[in-house]
Structure 1
Amino acid sequence: MTKYFLLITILFISCNNNFSEDDKINNLINKMSIEEKIGQMTQLTLGFLSSNDNQHDGLVKNIDTLKLIKAVQDYKVGSIFNSAGSAYSAEKWHGIINYIQLLTKENENKIPVLYGIDAIHGATYTKNSTLFPHNIGLAATRNIELIKSTAKATAREVRSSGIRWNFDPVLDVGREPLWPRFPETFGEDPYLVSTMGAAIVSSYESDGLKSKSSVASCIKHFTGYSVPKNGKDRTEAYISDVELWEYHILPFKKAIDSGASSIMINSGSVNGIPIHGSNYFLTEVLRNKLGFKGLIVTDWQDIIRLHTRHKIAETPKEAVRIAINAGIDMSMVPNEYSFYDLLLELVNEGKVTEDRINESVRKILKLKSNLGLFENPLVENLDSLKIDTNLHREIALNSARESITLLKNQNNILPISKDENILVIGPGSNSVASLCGSWSFTWQGNNENEYPKSYKTIIDALKNKSNNVISYTKKGFDNDINYKFHLKDKIDKIILCLGENAYAESPGVIDDLTLDINQILLAEKAIASNVPVILVLTQGRPRIINSIVDDIDGIILAYQPGSQGANAIADVLFGDYNPSGTLPFTYPRHTGDIMHYDYKFSSTIQQRKPSKITYNGYNPQWPFGFGLSYTNFHLDSIELSTKEITDGDSLIVFASVSNTGSIDGSKNIDLFISDEYASISPANKKLKSFTKVNLESGESTKISFLLTSEDFTYINDSGERILEKGTFIIEILNKKIKINLI
């Protein structure tokens, strides 16, 4: 009987433990003072807790232990993020984080700090880490498994650094190329953004947040951030309800369904409404319609900016009241304690209820619990640091290779023979920063001295493959000599490396997409030499080059390809790798003519009859999905499993593809659907699926796409999917076939 009673007791305790996580959190909340609760909602940057207030100079700063003690023990802040200027070694990160967590153990409730970081394309604030291509380049690969590999590698390196919360992925849809955060997006198509974003979230979190190979994701920036009316960062956007739901909210819905733990909010406003002060967006849409149950955090200083920038709050205290009552859980303050002080006043005045505070604190503590911080707040006992491993370098190389997009190859000027004499010129030729872009060991990423010696420039990589490479450029992007042109030796071809230096956020604001005039002048001098010119573009957004395109023999777009980018570029130029990247955006011909591939039919009308007024319709430099190869591919046929479908049905699209060229290669294949007529003016076409085929010379294969009736819907102004009967067109590699929805 005693044994029986003991067994029942053990089973009861076991079952109780399985269901007690929420109870433990509620019990902890009941023990916490209102001051400690508000501290949990406060997030500070490590730079504020350092010896130097100038946080953005890219210089390493010492941590001020007295400031840190004040933050952790006096204010009991819930989260700290960022580095204090530039990247640290993994070992230094361990020391910082362990010290912070040891300080929390001296507090009454011993609540650990949740440390966060912007690891946007690799462990970007850990020295000697692997940096992958920025998202805009990853989107050009159309390779979901490869994207998952980059995310897994990022998670391993971030977790190896002792950090468990990553402010990634970016799910803003890149439809305004002036916007300086365009490189962080997956391009202009919501399906592409949704698919890749969901893959990253799943890769970060699918092993469970307590796993040493996982991090908590933070999808951002909800919503409409990426299409500011003036193209400048953190400014206002004006978006119709239809476009808002179909383009900008959709990727967040997919990521939430994939298990995203947290979300960061748009720093700007949509239709005059700052998102971080909107009960409609944060509660009605995000919580109620999208079903998000995780942590909502602001971006940098965004609550106080309801007063200073958006002007919807007459005082800082009113800004705090608006944001918290709208649904914000944590404020990235991040440089002082006014949020804490003002929120405490608001609670004492009854303008924010303690129940509302408890809602946010519960979500913060829940994330900490899911990450295992209560069980083990210190840096985990890692068998070995997984920083820049051979596997990660291989993933970085493959992702950079697959991203590179061949835009022009006149008379098969590419690939280049290693026996030819090559002159390499241009500001991008001897710069690691232009290859890696923003969030690369510093916020801006433009400090060449911060990069590991193992990172190669384009010149380094080319010289490693050929003894016939000549260059006189100096290290760095902005060195004056890099804009000079000298032709002294016998040269067979010129490799001209142009594009952009690294930039992030507001410092990357430009007023014109046209490539810098000094670079255009350098290109014109190279063209005038009558030596064949091959243009290599390392840039995060499409810079206008229409004045030189016709006179350039070959053009490759490498985006911002990361730490293995130079090697990947050299592989493509010399033919050791056959390029397969396809544009994730429409590359405009003119800076004032930004039209996306999914335009409305009226945008193609070229003449206003009976007048003689005409204009160009869709006339980009290169369309969305464009990308050449060193071989040729042919779509032999398209077949459908059925000619008619109805609501709830699915169909299979079969396509036969052949490599008709003389060398092996890969081809990204996009599938589009067009609706001939709809109650809301239909798009020209919409991307609904994609895949990649690898074919040897002369080889053919049959591929298939599974489509459901949902793929034939559109989203209305309330976010509802609408399915209408009619004729639809399925398009693959410019071939079309019709299907009827009955």
Structure 2
Amino acid sequence: MIGTWNTILETPLAKVKVVFIIEKIDNAYCLQVKTEPIPLNFEFNLVTVEGDALQAAGRFKLLSEEKVEISLTFSEETFTGCMNLHSFGELQIKGQKGEGVSLSEALLMEVEKYRNSENIVERSNEEILEKVNQLVARMTVLEKVGQMSQCMASNFSFGGDIEADPPEKLVEDGRAGSILGAFDINRVFELQKIAVEKSRLGIPLLFNADIIHGYQTIFPVPLAWASSWDLEGIKRACAISAKEASASGITYNHGPMVDITRDARWGRVVEGAGEDPYLGSLIAKAQVEGFQGDSLFSEETIIACLKHFIAYGAAEGGRDYNTVDISQGTLRNVYLPPFKAGLEAGACSVMNAFNIYQGIPVAGNKGLLKDLLREELGFEGILISDYGSVDEIAVHGAAKDSKEAAKMAVDATMDIEMVSTSYLQYLPELIEEGRILESQLDDAVKRILTYKFIIGIMDDPFRYIRPDKEMEYHFCKEHLQTSRELAQKSIVLLKNNGVLPLKKEKGKIAVIGPFANSKDLLGPWQFSRYSDKTVTLIEGLKSKFVNQSNLLFAEGCRIDSEIEGGIEEALQQAKQADVIILALGENSVMSGEAASRMDIELPEAQRKLAEEMIKLGKPTVLVLTNGRPLVLEWFDKNVDAIVETWFLGSEAGHAITDVLVGDYNPSGKLTMSFPIQTGQVPVYYNHFNTGRPLTKKNQHEKFISKYLDGPNEPLYPFGYGLSYTTFTYSEMKIDKNQLTKTEKINVSVTVTNTGSMPGEEVVQLYIQDLYGSVVRPVKELKGFKKVDLHPSESKEVIFTITEEDLKYYTADMRYQAEAGEFKVYIGSNSKVVKEASFELVC
């Protein structure tokens, strides 16, 4: 049995090739295991052999560390047995001697037999329409409903378990038109083969996945990359994500999330661009353009899906899936703009929000989906439900049962039901009863089939299955470098009294905290097989410090619990250091979907560790890993520097270190305000004035809109972020004080780098409409420009204002600008600004 053996395991997530390497060293047997494409990290500490049988026990790590037991029996050329894994249960093993061919090579040879690339051509809209109409005319009602139904690729679930037939059966019967969660290219091939060869009409499947901030190469989470204000960088990250995902057969993305988010308690703020509709709109456009590229016919692009339409970010109390109750004006002026921008950029799909609006769940809300989205905004693409949200119409209490819920969703023009099965169960019956029309199904199916033709799978169903490109693209050096560059730009320096940048040449640094050597830097909503290769903070620092004996380390505590003797060990290391880095924050499961928090302070165990470190009186830098704004008032008062790093992705440790040592000068700016206390939440810059606004003059009066026990203002406002250099702004210049509908106004400031390092500044333009048919915000972002300046260098930054910048949905819901007086502000953030005035004359 000594030697190399291989087998193929069929796990619920993917087909996995396993190579066992058995050695005998000093009369003891040793077992090593290699796997692909999913890297399962095995470590066996107990291996016993009796005759031809081997027993082994140890641990393996996928998402978490778990026990594993193996029992194998060998012959000369083959072996059998079983492997017991907690995540997957007991898996039967049957294999042979040798390394074996890789799964990618085997699939490549197999899929070549099915290629039809010579005959594939990009069809015109007219040709597609003709083909779609011909196909729909041949379909039965059940086949139409099948195209409108989506199932999981396996028993892995993104939500509550759904009772349904196995995907193989659903696909063969024509009862599924798209698949969610096919994490393995071999699984994509298997299911696509069934659809093409065994279903009556041979209609290929769409393969859907949540590609939120990377596929195998992971980029900063969206709240982080929004802080870069780098639209081209975000677009490039999405293009790379599409390139990697499409090589694995993914054709349809459940992203980007373009919800405006004002409440940091809501876990899904990590997936969005923050609190501002203007910046959120630009980022929505960049993401759509990145995912979809110049043409969806390219096999290196994927369909972008705007989610969650609409106002999901306004959930009461910041609690996921909760009620939303807002005015139509707020809906249109705050939450709608990023969706409009995404649609104008060509987004081909939209997903509903889980919440209600005006008492009706969005999944069945005809006023929102049919009237607003389709008719007013002109959306002609695929409308897909979020996971289980059709069934949830009844759970909300807006429908008697799932049958009535299905009817509501179809009437609202919902094309695809994600994973739940109300469409399959009830649509044929509803048609028979005359309660919905078959033509409604026809409209939905035509939209779905149109995109199957557009992306080319109707002519070559296997064109996206490219194992050779997987090997070339996934986690490649070029993509990692792009991730690192965007991560650098996403870091926000919140405080610095001069302790940063660190000196690489001298002095000892103690890195203390649960994120000092953690690989949990990718954040939620990622499924990379390369998570074990995430660069930690310690690894990043070691790459910069020649004398690594100057780097000291102690975990100190876990994320939300103490370690026995942990603080003592941390103190022992910190006492030897000249500078302390506190690596604290949230783990990835504390952000994202279903990760709302009542209290957005750091866990008590981490605060206790920090307090003990501060008592040493040494220069201390807080490095944060998190997916939302946190309450940092105590840290702002007690540490010397605060570096907001979010979840930065695969190259996190390198990017953080680049900033800490000054190889990259931080330039990130916040896109969500950081409260002083949780009780301020939601706190955001573009609020209304109220009839009794708090001012410097009246702050000591009682009957004013304020708190008794703290300020109204956040600790760090929207647009805030420091640099290792300093910038000064001249007084604002404005070329005229009146604006007509056909004219424009130019406003400008001169920005000077008054520090000692080159740096980049995000210069921000805000406008305030002083009065209107409805109350307007105290200021709204309307433009920004980045300037790179060397020490003592100055540049004039000019913004042009037109009537278009002043438009909003007025009292009668018309999108227009109203005559009146305006203020214009330019500054380094939403609070520190220069100002001027002008008037719009109609």
The one-letter code matched in structure 1 to 2:423 is F
Question: Shift in Å at residue 56 of structure 1?
Answer: 7.5
Which range moves more in the overlay, 644-653 or 688-697?
644-653
Measured in 2, the distance between the counterparts of 1:274 and 1:380 equals 36
Question: Shift in Å at residue 338 of structure 1?
Answer: 4.4
Checking the alignment, whether the CA contact within 8 Å between 2:149 and 2:176 is kept in structure 1 is yes
SS in 2 for 1:661: coil
Query: Quick one: which of 652, 658, 661 aligns to 1:574?
Result: 661
2:408 alignment partner in structure 1:
322
Checking the alignment, whether the CA contact within 8 Å between 2:508 and 2:552 is kept in structure 1 is yes
Query: Quick one: which of 122, 125, 128 aligns to 2:214?
Result: 122
Which range moves more in the overlay, 691-700 or 245-254?
691-700
Counting aligned pairs with the same residue, the percent is: 33
Deviations 1:315-356 (A, max 9, x none): 21111111111221110024xx44302112111221111011
Deviations 1:222-254 (A, max 9, x none): 001011112111111111111110011111111
Query: Quick one: which of 668, 677, 688 aligns to 1:600?
Result: 688
Question: Shift in Å at residue 706 of structure 1?
Answer: 3.0
Task: Sort the Cα spacing of 1:162 and 1:326 in 2 relative to 1 into closer, same or farther, 3 A.
Answer: same
User: What are the equivalent positions in structure 2 for 1:637-656 lying under 5 Å apart?
Assistant: 637-656=731-750
Which range moves more in the overlay, 293-302 or 225-234?
225-234
Task: Sort the Cα spacing of 1:454 and 1:608 in 2 relative to 1 into closer, same or farther, 3 A.
Answer: closer
Question: Shift in Å at residue 507 of structure 1?
Answer: 4.1
Task: Sort the Cα spacing of 1:654 and 1:140 in 2 relative to 1 into closer, same or farther, 3 A.
Answer: same
Checking the alignment, whether the CA contact within 8 Å between 1:538 and 1:558 is kept in structure 2 is yes
Deviations 1:618-669 (A, max 9, x none): 3211111111100011223533343321123333333322211111111111
Task: Sort the Cα spacing of 1:216 and 1:438 in 2 relative to 1 into closer, same or farther, 3 A.
Answer: same
Measured in 1, the distance between the counterparts of 2:366 and 2:812 equals 16
Task: Sort the Cα spacing of 1:194 and 1:718 in 2 relative to 1 into closer, same or farther, 3 A.
Answer: farther
Question: Shift in Å at residue 608 of structure 1?
Answer: 8.6
Measured in 1, the distance between the counterparts of 2:363 and 2:402 equals 14
Checking the alignment, whether the CA contact within 8 Å between 2:492 and 2:670 is kept in structure 1 is yes
Checking the alignment, whether the CA contact within 8 Å between 1:427 and 1:477 is kept in structure 2 is yes
Whether 1:133 aligns to 2:220 is yes
Checking the alignment, whether the CA contact within 8 Å between 1:179 and 1:227 is kept in structure 2 is no
User: What are the equivalent positions in structure 2 for 1:498-647 lying under 5 Å apart?
Assistant: 498-503=584-589, 505-594=592-681, 595-602=683-690, 604-605=693-694, 607=698, 615=707, 618-647=712-741
Task: Sort the Cα spacing of 1:381 and 1:323 in 2 relative to 1 into closer, same or farther, 3 A.
Answer: closer
User: What are the equivalent positions in structure 2 for 1:684-695 lying under 5 Å apart?
Assistant: 684-695=778-789
SS in 2 for 1:230: helix
Whether 1:362 aligns to 2:446 is yes
2:194 alignment partner in structure 1:
103
SS in 2 for 1:105: helix
Checking the alignment, whether the CA contact within 8 Å between 1:140 and 1:581 is kept in structure 2 is yes
Checking the alignment, whether the CA contact within 8 Å between 2:583 and 2:625 is kept in structure 1 is yes
Checking the alignment, whether the CA contact within 8 Å between 2:674 and 2:715 is kept in structure 1 is yes
Question: Shift in Å at residue 723 of structure 1?
Answer: 1.4
Whether 1:409 aligns to 2:491 is no
Checking the alignment, whether the CA contact within 8 Å between 2:143 and 2:175 is kept in structure 1 is yes
Measured in 1, the distance between the counterparts of 2:165 and 2:808 equals 56
Question: Shift in Å at residue 154 of structure 1?
Answer: 1.0
1:40 alignment partner in structure 2:
147
Checking the alignment, whether the CA contact within 8 Å between 1:431 and 1:476 is kept in structure 2 is no
Checking the alignment, whether the CA contact within 8 Å between 1:97 and 1:379 is kept in structure 2 is no
1:461 alignment partner in structure 2:
540
Measured in 1, the distance between the counterparts of 2:557 and 2:799 equals 47
SS in 1 for 2:635: helix
Task: Sort the Cα spacing of 1:194 and 1:426 in 2 relative to 1 into closer, same or farther, 3 A.
Answer: same
Checking the alignment, whether the CA contact within 8 Å between 2:732 and 2:747 is kept in structure 1 is yes
Task: Sort the Cα spacing of 1:54 and 1:476 in 2 relative to 1 into closer, same or farther, 3 A.
Answer: farther
Measured in 2, the distance between the counterparts of 1:279 and 1:421 equals 63
Deviations 1:528-564 (A, max 9, x none): 1111211011111112122332011110111111111
2:365 alignment partner in structure 1:
278
Task: Sort the Cα spacing of 1:392 and 1:502 in 2 relative to 1 into closer, same or farther, 3 A.
Answer: same
SS in 2 for 1:352: coil
Task: Sort the Cα spacing of 1:132 and 1:194 in 2 relative to 1 into closer, same or farther, 3 A.
Answer: same
Question: Shift in Å at residue 272 of structure 1?
Answer: 2.2
Measured in 1, the distance between the counterparts of 2:730 and 2:592 equals 45
Deviations 1:364-385 (A, max 9, x none): 1111111111011104475633
Tell which structure's C-alpha radius of gyration is larger: 2
Task: Sort the Cα spacing of 1:611 and 1:471 in 2 relative to 1 into closer, same or farther, 3 A.
Answer: closer
2:427 alignment partner in structure 1:
343
Question: Shift in Å at residue 469 of structure 1?
Answer: 1.1
Question: Shift in Å at residue 439 of structure 1?
Answer: 1.3
Which segments of 5 or more consecutive residues in structure 1 lack a partner in the other structure?
1-13, 59-64, 124-128, 443-449
Measured in 2, the distance between the counterparts of 1:15 and 1:441 equals 32
Measured in 2, the distance between the counterparts of 1:586 and 1:77 equals 44
Checking the alignment, whether the CA contact within 8 Å between 2:557 and 2:605 is kept in structure 1 is no
Deviations 1:585-642 (A, max 9, x none): 1110010112210122237426499757764553211111111100011223533343
The one-letter code matched in structure 2 to 1:472 is A
User: What are the equivalent positions in structure 2 for 1:14-33 lying under 5 Å apart?
Assistant: 19-33=126-140
Deviations 1:51-92 (A, max 9, x none): xx677799xxxxxx9933301111431110114xxxx5xxx4
2:567 alignment partner in structure 1:
484
Question: Shift in Å at residue 15 of structure 1?
Answer: 14
Checking the alignment, whether the CA contact within 8 Å between 1:157 and 1:386 is kept in structure 2 is yes
Task: Sort the Cα spacing of 1:629 and 1:17 in 2 relative to 1 into closer, same or farther, 3 A.
Answer: closer
Which segments of 5 or more consecutive residues in structure 2 lack a partner in the other structure?
1-120, 828-832
The one-letter code matched in structure 1 to 2:567 is K
Checking the alignment, whether the CA contact within 8 Å between 2:148 and 2:423 is kept in structure 1 is no
Checking the alignment, whether the CA contact within 8 Å between 1:427 and 1:478 is kept in structure 2 is no
Measured in 2, the distance between the counterparts of 1:66 and 1:548 equals 53
Checking the alignment, whether the CA contact within 8 Å between 1:604 and 1:618 is kept in structure 2 is no
Checking the alignment, whether the CA contact within 8 Å between 1:241 and 1:718 is kept in structure 2 is no
Question: Shift in Å at residue 707 of structure 1?
Answer: 2.6
Which gives a bigger RCO, structure 1 or 2 (Cα 8 Å, sep 6+)?
Answer: 1
Whether 1:144 aligns to 2:231 is yes
Deviations 1:186-241 (A, max 9, x none): 00000111110011112222421111221110010000101111211111111111
Which range moves more in the overlay, 39-48 or 14-23?
14-23
Checking the alignment, whether the CA contact within 8 Å between 1:298 and 1:331 is kept in structure 2 is yes
Instruction: Please report the TM-score for the alignment, with normalisation by the length of structure 1.
Output: 0.89
Question: Shift in Å at residue 19 of structure 1?
Answer: 2.4
Aligned residues: 694
2:552 alignment partner in structure 1:
470
2:459 alignment partner in structure 1:
375
Checking the alignment, whether the CA contact within 8 Å between 1:287 and 1:293 is kept in structure 2 is yes
Task: Sort the Cα spacing of 1:732 and 1:510 in 2 relative to 1 into closer, same or farther, 3 A.
Answer: same
SS in 1 for 2:137: helix
Question: Shift in Å at residue 256 of structure 1?
Answer: 0.6
SS in 1 for 2:306: strand
The one-letter code matched in structure 2 to 1:102 is K
Task: Sort the Cα spacing of 1:528 and 1:134 in 2 relative to 1 into closer, same or farther, 3 A.
Answer: same
User: What are the equivalent positions in structure 2 for 1:172-251 lying under 5 Å apart?
Assistant: 172-251=259-338
Measured in 2, the distance between the counterparts of 1:626 and 1:109 equals 57
Checking the alignment, whether the CA contact within 8 Å between 1:39 and 1:76 is kept in structure 2 is yes
Checking the alignment, whether the CA contact within 8 Å between 2:821 and 2:837 is kept in structure 1 is yes
2:840 alignment partner in structure 1:
741
The one-letter code matched in structure 1 to 2:180 is F
Deviations 1:63-122 (A, max 9, x none): xx9933301111431110114xxxx5xxx41x2212222212222321110111001001
The one-letter code matched in structure 2 to 1:109 is L
Task: Sort the Cα spacing of 1:312 and 1:57 in 2 relative to 1 into closer, same or farther, 3 A.
Answer: closer
